[in-house]
Amino acid sequence: MNHSEVSTTAPTSCASAAQIPSHQTRKRLSQAASMDTSSSAAQWRDWSGLGDGPAGLIAERVLAYDVGDCVRFRAVCRAWRRCSADPRAHGGLDRRFHPWRWAMLREVLVAPDRRSFLNTSTGQCIQVDTPELRDHELLAPTPEGLLVLIHGRKHIRLLNPLTRHLTELPPITTLVTRTDHRRHLEQNPHFMTCFAAWGSGVADVSTTFLLCFSRLCMLGMAKPGDDQWTSLQYDSDGITSAPLMFAGRFYCATRNGVLLLDTDPDMPRLKVVAKLKGMHVWPIADTVHLVNNHGELLLVHRRKGPLTPGNKSGRRYDTYRVDLDTGTLLPLKSLGGARRAIFVGMKCSLSVSLEVFPSGSISADTIYLSFNFSERKLLKHA
């Protein structure tokens, strides 16, 4: 380095009197600094020593809102962990610990056992390590945020991705008849398609899990610790319909109408709760989608209509509110004015609020189609 590049300017000693603090000024500054230190000390709190009473009350309220926040709360320190409920110490079907605000996104990250989860109430997205996916196949997520897993095409397990609680359920071999084991389970090249478990979830009694294989029109009910599933077959009448667990109860749609599963252990059965009056649903050509729209049960009828310059696919999407009190379908022109949008898929559908997503990213009273709808390409270029 050349000497010319080094600054040799010394600190100036000719500062004016106004720039040099006087003795009194230095004294006042010293007193102010002392007061600031005392104030900081007075405001400081040992939050780890908050006490089991107040900390326990906070823990209860945190858990009541979101189990994800509860997991974060417990990770702060040992004292807070001691005064809060341990999710793994309770049953896997205990609703208090279900991550029902979180939806797993379908893209797979670089790490094979890591997944992204979206909070549908806040728009927050997190990445979660799920090492259980190394030796399990994912059959489907549930509305409660749980993951239905299968190991070795036999063992059914329920994973809570945020608490890592793993619940053992009866093997799938007790639901499929023995004569069909080889054809459906052992030598089925389309196993993951046939046994996709969309529509599964925790029943309202909170100790029973309902397993749904809609492709096979097959239902199974069991509790953790049971040896086998209680099975039930139903007829879809050729209608392509994605079933739904809504408010702890199983719903599906057929030509007869919207059906509800009566979970009476002695005689489980499906019964009609709303008729499809005036609605013509054509098998294969049409599809029917049940949606939980913020506590309101909706039905979206995806049907074929005339081709127009603005609609080259000819698809129409009629939306109805399912009135369970009167057993009727009420046509809707909007999603209730609550600034919501619906994402519709062949396997499941999701209603979200515009308030939690970036402004302009989605529009209110709009139906967005999943990747598995053929008319998406035509709509993009319309």
Tens digit of each residue's pLDDT (9 = 90 or more) over 118-171? 999 888 999 999 999 999 999 999 999 999 999 999 999 999 999 999 999 999
Q: Is 144 in a helix, a strand, or coil?
A: coil
- Span 208-224, mean pLDDT? 93
Q: Model pTM greater than 0.85?
A: no
Stretch 92-108: mean pLDDT, rounded? 90
CB atoms within 10 A of CB 142: 24
| DSSP code per residue over 212-256 | EEGGGTEEEEE-TT-SSPEEEE---TT-EEE-EEETTEEEEEETT
Quote the pLDDT of residue 158: 97
Extract the tokens encoding 205: 């009694």
Q: Across residues 182-211, what is the average pLDDT? A: 90
pLDDT at 3: 37
The rounded mean pLDDT for the chain is: 84
pLDDT of residue 165: 95
pLDDT score of 7 more than 90:
no
Read off the pLDDT of each residue in 214-226 and give the average, rounded to a whole number.
93
Task: Give the model's pLDDT for residue 301.
Answer: 93
Please give the pLDDT value at position 360: 83
Average pLDDT, integer, range 62-70: 95
Percent of the chain with pLDDT over 70: 85
Q: What percent of the chain has pLDDT over 90?
A: 53
E strand or H helix that includes residue 31: helix 23-43
Whole-number pLDDT of residue 39: 53
Answer whether residue 75 shows pLDDT above 70. Answer: yes
Mean pLDDT of 310-323: 90
Q: Which of 221, 279, 230, 220 is nearest to 253 (CA)?
A: 279
On whether the CB atoms of residues 298 and 331 are closer than 8 A, the answer is no
- On whether the CB atoms of residues 139 and 149 are closer than 8 A, the answer is yes
